[in-house]
Structure formats: structure tokens, C-alpha cells
């Protein structure tokens, strides 16, 4: 691989992927939505195309000359009902536009970052042969990712493009500003009352990025890989983050009914304020789910690796502290 085009390069996982590819000497071109993201990417030595993910004309120009690989990481992860139209436009319409542009440009390989959520809130242990129940499930984010993934798989199976699909579980690690790092910030501020009752599967962002590169080089013309990690109750994640912060962990497990009621109240308030609620009924459904992942295929075929939960928590907290994104803990 000598060149690559990346969407979502300014995000959490995208930053790790860019770092891996730059270390390998790959020439990078990236789509940036905001001025701030464009400036940061240019400062990192990445060629930037600025615009919207569903702008077909822009994408057609951005893929000339055609890169060896398109990595499509960009996505809207909102779990708020009022942002569903935007989420569908970015996740589904944007994927369709980029996929069509890549096919038209003759791009040899398309790597799509999907999500473990495409399998829905199932009680079964998930592998690549599990049904994509998320397409008709209660979480709109999962529906949008499943619909976008279906577009990529259909294009690959029809021979229009060679494609790889990665389905990460909960991604943790340095560089996280908006996801699981929020738990560390709440612990540091002594504002976390307890942990949700669900069980997560936590993947190291650096290992997920490495798996993307391995998938890009894999010979299969149409292949998906689930990416698991350290399986643990959310209470164990809270405890690991608290240990990294040298603070006591809140020991209370918050019941589903209480979280659901708080989500209803938060969503009602958001209608008046116009601001995204801290909790939604969809986020509660995800936080109370017991996730199980069997990623033997990725470990065998991509060399994908799991990391200990405490190591990921330590590295996340160290990065947050270095970036001055935590309240003082002393």
C-alpha cells in the first residue's frame, strides 16, 4: 500500500490509523468536515480535502488520482432521536456516495469501519455468522450502521469492488475525547454515581487500527471481521479507570429502571433546551446490554490482539491527564 484516502481521520480511531500508516510511509489524503480538523490534519502532514461526506462531486474529485485503499471510518454515533436524519445522511448516504466514488475511480480496496452494534442487542455470543439484528433493532445508530454495511457487502459480493468490513466492539485508549473517557472525567470530578449493569467488550484503539491495515492487505475480496477484546462488566471498567486516577471507585450498580427514568427525563428536557441529553433510552439500552464477542477469525487472519482492561484504562487516563482534560484529582 503506497497511498490511502481516509474519512474520519481527525477522530479517535482515525488518529491511530493515520499514525500507523504514516509510520509505514503511506501517502495520506483525508476528508475533513471542519476547519479545525482540516488544520490539525495538515499540521500532521496529511493532504486534506474539506467538505461533506455525502457530496458526490467532491468525493469524485478527492479520489483522483485513485488511492490504493479507501478507509471509511467517519460516522455519526449519536443516540438522540432528534439527530436521526443527520445520522442517516452521514452513515448511510455518505457511505453510498463514497462507495460509488471509489468504484467509479477504480479504487482497488475499500475498508469500512462498521460496528459490533449491527448484530443488535442479542443475548448470544456474536461472531461473523450471527444475524445482523441491528438492522431492525431499537437503536437507530445500529440500524444506520447495518444499512451502510449492507451497501458495502453488496458491492463486494457483486464484484464491483474488493472490500473489508471491521466491526469493533467498545474502543478504548489514548486519544478518546468523547466516548469512554467521559467516565474517567466524571470519576475525576467525583460526579459518577455508579456504573450501568451491562457487560462490555473493550478493544484497544491501537490494535483496532492495526487490524484495519491488516484487513486492507488481506486477499479476500469480501470479508468481515468482528473485533472483540477484554470482556468485563461496566463496573469493572469504572474500577479500572478509578485505579488509574488513584481514586476510589463508586461501587453502586445503577438499576435499569432508574437509568431508563433518568433518560426519559433528560430527553424531555432536551426538547426544551435543544441540547443533546446526557442519557437517552437508546444509550441506556446499550449500557444495560450484556455483550459477548467471539473474534477468533480476526485473531487468526489479521493477527488481532486483545489488551488487558487495566492497561487500556491506564493509557487512557495518562493521555487525558497530559491533554489537561481531567479535573484535578487531589
Distance CA 146, CA 151 (A): 9
Q: Helices marked H in 25-139 — which ranges? A: 35-43, 56-62, 84-88, 94-105
Distance CA 49, CA 63 (A): 10
Residue showing cell 476510589: 248
CB 244 within 8 A of CB 313: yes
Give catalytic status of residue 141 as yes or no.
yes
CB 176 within 8 A of CB 316: yes
| Cell output for 329 | 484529582
Which phi-psi region, left, alpha or beta, contains residue 159 (left: φ > 0; alpha: ψ -120 to 50)?
A: left
CB 165 within 8 A of CB 1: no
Distances (CA, A) of 310 to 26, 149, 172, 173, 239: 32, 32, 11, 11, 9
At residue 262, what are phi and psi to the nearest 5 degrees? -60, -40
CA-nearest of 233, 195, 247, 226 to 298 is 226
Q: Looking at the DSSP assignment, which residues form a beta bridge with residue 29?
A: 5, 47
Query: Catalytic one among 112, 119, 141, 304?
Result: 141
Residues assigned a catalytic role: 141
Amino acid at each position: 500500500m503506497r497511498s490511502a484516502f481516509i474519512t474520519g481521520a481527525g477522530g479517535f480511531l482515525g488518529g491511530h490509523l493515520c499514525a500507523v500508516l504514516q509510520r509505514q510511509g503511506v501517502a495520506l489524503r483525508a476528508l475533513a468536515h471542519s476547519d479545525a480538523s482540516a488544520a490539525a490534519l495538515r499540521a500532521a502532514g496529511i493532504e486534506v480535502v474539506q467538505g461533506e461526506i455525502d457530496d458526490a462531486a467532491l468525493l469524485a474529485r478527492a479520489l483522483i488520482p485513485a488511492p490504493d485503499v479507501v478507509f471509511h471510518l467517519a460516522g455519526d454515533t449519536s443516540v438522540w432521536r432528534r439527530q436521526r436524519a443527520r445520522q442517516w445522511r452521514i452513515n448511510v448516504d455518505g457511505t453510498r456516495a463514497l462507495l460509488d466514488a471509489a468504484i467509479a475511480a477504480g479504487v482497488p480496496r475499500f475498508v469500512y469501519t462498521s460496528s459490533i452494534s449491527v448484530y443488535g442487542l442479542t443475548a448470544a455470543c456474536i461472531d461473523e455468522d450471527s444475524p445482523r439484528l441491528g438492522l431492525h433493532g431499537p437503536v437507530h445508530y445500529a440500524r444506520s450502521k447495518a444499512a451502510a454495511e449492507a451497501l458495502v457487502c453488496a458491492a463486494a459480493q457483486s464484484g464491483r469492488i474488493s472490500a473489508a468490513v471491521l466491526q469493533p466492539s467498545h474502543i478504548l485508549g489514548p486519544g478518546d475525547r468523547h466516548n469512554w473517557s467521559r467516565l474517567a472525567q466524571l470519576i475525576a470530578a467525583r460526579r459518577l454515581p455508579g456504573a450501568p449493569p451491562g457487560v462490555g467488550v473493550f478493544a484497544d484503539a491501537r490494535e483496532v487500527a492495526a487490524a484495519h491495515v491488516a484487513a486492507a492487505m488481506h486477499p479476500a475480496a469480501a470479508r468481515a471481521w468482528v473485533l472483540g477484546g477484554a470482556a468485563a462488566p461496566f463496573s469493572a471498567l469504572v474500577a479500572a479507570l478509578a485505579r488509574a486516577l488513584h481514586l476510589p471507585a463508586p461501587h453502586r450498580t445503577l438499576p435499569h429502571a432508574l437509568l431508563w427514568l433518568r433518560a426519559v427525563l433528560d430527553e424531555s428536557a432536551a426538547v426544551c433546551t435543544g441540547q443533546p441529553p446526557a442519557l437517552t433510552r437508546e444509550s441506556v439500552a446499550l449500557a444495560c446490554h450484556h455483550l459477548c464477542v467471539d473474534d477468533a477469525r480476526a485473531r487468526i487472519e489479521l493477527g488481532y490482539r486483545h489488551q488487558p482492561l487495566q492497561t487500556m484504562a491506564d493509557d487512557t487516563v495518562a493521555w487525558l491527564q497530559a491533554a489537561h482534560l481531567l479535573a484535578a484529582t487531589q
